[in-house]
Structure 1
Amino acid sequence: MDRLRLMALDAEDLAVVSAQVQDSVTKFEALDYRPREKRFTLVVNRFAWDAAGRQSGGKDSYERRQSVLSFARVLKVRTSGIKRNDPDQVLSLLAIQFAETDAPAGTIELVFADGPLIQLDVECVEAQLEDLGAAWETRFKPRHPAN
């Protein structure tokens, strides 16, 4: 199987992970923060940009994969725009950004479409992305309005 597995240890690495999870979707129930372990994890359905546009039966083929995205050395988590009591709210991840505050510490931001945001205060960048299983086909390719 061609499962993706990445690790990020600095802002440059995190930009690569961000590109791979762009347009991933998740829900509040798939977010997990464990303060004692200093770990924040989310399970996402990742749009496989690396496989986008392959031909299948004469048509472009797209796929999603269930993946886990985890961050270590997390000191604090803040959220805004996430409706914790709305099981139907779908969070569509646009980007992951890192702002250094006191090297190597800083804040990792998970930016979602339409405004929701998760901020992780971290001792340093230490993130992992791993596909959990096989891909499934989707007919829909995410689109973004032109700036």
Structure 2
Amino acid sequence: MDGKLKLSALDADDLGVISAAVQDSLVAVRDCAFFAAENRFVLLLNRFRWEADATVETAYWRTHSALVFNAVQAVHHHKIPLQEPDRVLELLALGMEGAGTVVLRFAADRAIRLEIDRLACHLGDVGEPWPTPWKPAHPAE
């Protein structure tokens, strides 16, 4: 088993690496939080371990991860069901839109837009990974 993933992003290229690592993560609405006094936005993810080699390992793996954005000034939601804290969202991608905006894109045309002073993003695995028989799949368009 590989070690825990720990990544930081300070520019759009770095964020692309983190985006690939968190693709198909699951996150409950209640596990997305903006700490305005700290200018911090945090998501607690159930992350599919794309980096684990399924040809060597006996199963696919998931792990809990924390995705943290610092220097956040504002958070805007698009179709995020804030009134349904137990609703699970599927994170598809992260990306920069201009110098001061990060967009987190979810399935079902949902999104969270972060207004930032600068990009300061960190991803870290927490706890131990567990096996799963399911690998996320995306139908061809």
TM-score, normalised via structure 2 length: 0.94
Q: Could you list the runs of 5+ residues in structure 1 that have no partner in the other structure?
A: none
Contiguous gaps of at least 5 residues in structure 2? none
> In 1, are the aligned partners of 2:81 and 2:87 still within 8 Å (CA)?
yes
1:99: which partner in 2? 97
Equivalence for 1:65: 63
TM-superposed deviation, 1:85: 2.0
In structure 2, the partner of 1:137 is: 131
Partner residue, 2:104: 110
Which letter maps to 1:113? A
Deviation at 1:53, TM superposition (A): 2.0
Q: How far does the alpha carbon of each residue in 1:76-118 deviate from its partner, in whole angstroms, 9 at most, with x for none? A: 0000111112244210000001012xxxx41100000111100
Q: Is the 8 A contact 2:43 2:66 kept in 1?
A: yes
Matched, 1:78 2:87: no
Separation in 1, partners of 2:72, 2:85:
25
Cα distance in 2 for partners of 1:88, 1:35 equals: 22
**Cα distance per residue 1:56-88 (max 9 Å; x no partner):** 5xxx51010000000000010000111112244
Distance 2:86 2:10 in 1: 33
Aligned length: 140
CA RMSD of aligned residues (A): 1.4
Query: Max radius of gyration: which structure?
Result: 1
Which contiguous aligned blocks of 4+ residues in structure 1 show a shift greater than 3 angstroms? none
Identity of aligned residues (%): 41
